Amino acid sequence: HYAMNQNTTAHTLEHRTYGLKELAVLYFPNIAPASASTRLKKWITTTPALMEQLAKTNYRRTARILTPRQVQLIAAEFGEP
For the segment 15-69, what is each residue's pLDDT rounded down to a tens digit? 999 999 999 999 999 999 999 999 999 999 999 999 999 999 999 999 999 999 9
- Virtual torsion, Cα 44, 75, 38, 41, nearest 10 deg: 20
Contacting residues for 52 by C-beta, under 8 A, at least 6 apart: none
Q: How confident is the model at residue 11 (pLDDT cuts 50, 70, 90)?
A: low
Q: What is the 8-class DSSP label of residue 14?
A: P
**Whole-prediction pTM:** 0.84
Q: How confident is the model at residue 12 (pLDDT cuts 50, 70, 90)?
A: confident
Contacting residues for 62 by C-beta, under 8 A, at least 6 apart: none
